[in-house]
Structures are given as C-alpha cells and as structure tokens.
C-alpha cells in the first residue's frame, strides 16, 4: 500500500526515475522502514490497511550507518547506479536539518492508498500520536515532499520551518508541531 501511495511522490520519482522499477524499490524501502521503526516507534493503520502513519519515538529517529547502507542497497540496479550517490547524499542531508531538540515524535511516513485518499484515513492514523503529543507536551516533526500537502499538515497544527532542495531534485518542507493544550 505504501509503495502505491508514494508511486508519484516527488522524492520517489527523483530517487528512482524509471517508473517500472519504482514499485519494487519502494516496496523494499518501506519494508525496511517498517522493520526499522517498529521497535523504536509506533505504526498506526486503519482496519483495512489502506492508510498508515509510521512514527519514530522521541530520540529514536536517527538511522544507523548500517541502516543507511541497507537503504542505499535499494538503489543497486544498473539503471539507478549513476544517480545513487547523489540520491544517498541528498537523503542523508535531509537528516541534518532534523531538529535534535526538543524531544519530539517524528512522522517518518504517512501514506494512503490512492484509491482511498480523501476519506480522512490519513488524519485518523495520525491522530493517536498527535493526541499523545498533546497529552504529554511533546512536539512533532515531519518533512513534506509535496507543497500541496502543506495546508493539510497545517490543519493538524504543523507549520513550515524551512525549505530544502535535494540535489538536482525536489524541495522538502520541514514542519514542526507544538503540542496543543
């Protein structure tokens, strides 16, 4: 489902230009992301697995060098090798603007199957952790890869803190949400 949700995402199309390879690459990336996040965060889905929010707990958003290398292996295809160093550098660079403090939940992935979008599922799977943030006075952070999603996230209390362009690629919008009282 996440591979379908991100098939046309600007970062996905930048990192894997051949559309015929993208589903397989995205399936591998999201399988690793879910496996890596599960013990260090929370994954929320709807009952029909049409939407998912993948959250890293406060202090748990960093990836290890080993994990970074594993993610880089998703680009090991002859048609992707020339761009792989630039893509890896760009994605690792995105981590450099991730705030170290204050402690916060990190929304690493929010995706809804294209056939189910517009029905409130993304909001529903985000809500449990946002409620926890509010109860405990903890912020939340994400990077939006689509400008058209900025208003959506703003409705949930996120505000854009910067803009960052990936090398010869799309723009990312880091966003922060203060807890609501």
Every domain of the chain and the residues it spans: 2-177
Q: So what's the pLDDT on residue 176?
A: 98
Q: Is residue 69 scored above 90 in pLDDT?
A: no
d(CA 125, CA 1): 14
Q: What would the two tokens of residue 75 be?
A: 């680009």
Q: Are 181 and 20 in contact (CB under 8 A)?
A: no
Q: Are 111 and 27 in contact (CB under 8 A)?
A: no
Q: So what's the pLDDT on residue 104?
A: 97
Over residues 82-94, the mean pLDDT reads 86
**CATH number of this structure's domain 2-177, picked from the four choices 3.40.50.920, 3.40.630.30, 1.10.520.10, 3.40.1080.10:** 3.40.630.30
Sorting pLDDT into bands at 50, 70 and 90, what band is 99? very high
d(CA 111, CA 149): 12
The pTM score is: 0.92
Q: Is residue 19 scored above 90 in pLDDT?
A: yes
Q: Is residue 39 scored above 90 in pLDDT?
A: no
Q: So what's the pLDDT on residue 149?
A: 97
Q: So what's the pLDDT on residue 45?
A: 97
Over residues 122-134, the mean pLDDT reads 98
Q: So what's the pLDDT on residue 96?
A: 79
Over residues 117-138, the mean pLDDT reads 97
Q: Is residue 126 scored above 90 in pLDDT?
A: yes
Instruction: Pick 104 or 66 by higher pLDDT.
Output: 104
Sorting pLDDT into bands at 50, 70 and 90, what band is 66? confident
- CA-to-CA separations, 62 to 23, 118, 176, in angstroms, rounded: 25, 31, 17
User: In the predicted model, what is the mean pLDDT of the chain?
Assistant: 93
Closest by Cα among 165, 21, 167, 173 to 87: 167
């Amino acid at each position: 489902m996440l591979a379908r949700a991100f098939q046309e995402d600007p970062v996905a199309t930048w990192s894997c230009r051949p559309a015929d390879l993208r589903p397989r690459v995205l399936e591998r990336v999201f399988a690793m992301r879910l496996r890596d996040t599960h013990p260090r965060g929370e994954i929320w889905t709807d009952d029909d697995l049409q939407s998912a929010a993948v959250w890293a707990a406060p202090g748990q958003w960093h990836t290890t060098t080993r994990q970074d290398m594993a993610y880089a292996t998703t680009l090991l295809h002859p048609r992707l090798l020339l761009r792989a160093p630039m893509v890896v550098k760009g994605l690792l660079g995105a981590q450099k603007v991730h705030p170290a403090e204050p402690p916060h939940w990190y929304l690493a992935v929010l995706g809804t199957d294209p056939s189910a979008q517009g029905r409130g599922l993304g909001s529903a799977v985000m809500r449990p952790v946002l409620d926890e943030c509010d109860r405990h006075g903890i912020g939340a952070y994400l990077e939006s890869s689509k400008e058209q999603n900025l208003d959506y996230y703003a409705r949930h209390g996120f505000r854009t803190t910067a803009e960052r362009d990936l090398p010869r690629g799309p723009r990312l919008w880091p966003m922060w949400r203060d807890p609501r009282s």
